[in-house]
Amino acid sequence: MELKVSTRSHAGSALVAITGEIDLYTAPHLQTEFTRLLKQGPSRVVIDMSAVDFCDSTGMNVLLSALKRMKEQGGALEVAAPRPAVRKILQVTGLDSVFTVHEEVPQEFLIAEGS
């Protein structure tokens, strides 16, 4: 399955919307997108995972790598709206305590979208 990544920036923050499956084959595309985004220096990145059907350990490693780089830059990386399958992976691996996980995309990003 193809992985689609779109990024919207607003007021020093970025919303990264991911659609599809994050696995061994699609993770490099996601890694490339994060590398490009982090060069822009946002202070906060929220990953909208509401359209991610599956994420394996390779995908989780990409997210962890991005989180580490964000923290090194003094920023924050958060996960929003994970589907049950992705939420379970976060819980089983203990990553739900490493990432800030939101039930839905934070309101300020939805407001920014409408303006």
Banded model confidence at residue 115, pLDDT cuts 50, 70, 90 = very low
Distance in angstroms (rounded) separating the CA atoms of residues 54 and 89: 9
Domain segments of the chain as ranges: 8-101
Among 60, 3, 65, residue whose Cα is nearest residue 38? 65
Helix axes 57-72, 84-93, angle to 10 degrees: 70
Taking CA 31 as the corner, what is the angle to CA 30 and CA 34, rounded to the nearest 5 degrees? 85
Average pLDDT, the chain: 93
Do 45 and 65 meet the contact criterion of CB atoms below 8 Å apart? no
Q: Please give the model's pTM, rounded to 2 decimal places.
A: 0.92
Residue 68, classified by CB atoms within 10 Å of its CB into exposed (0-12), middle (13-18) or buried (19+), is exposed
Banded model confidence at residue 109, pLDDT cuts 50, 70, 90 = confident
Of residues 21 and 113, more confidence is placed in 21
Q: Give the pLDDT confidence of 93-102 residue by residue, as tens digits.
A: 999 999 999 9
- Report the CATH superfamily, name and number, of domain 8-101: STAS domain (3.30.750.24)
Q: Give the pLDDT confidence of 8-25 residue by residue, as tens digits.
A: 998 889 999 999 999 999
The bridge status of strand 13-22 relative to strand 44-55 is parallel
Residue 113 has pLDDT above 70, yes or no: no
Alpha helices (H) along 1-115:
27-39, 57-72, 84-93, 107-114
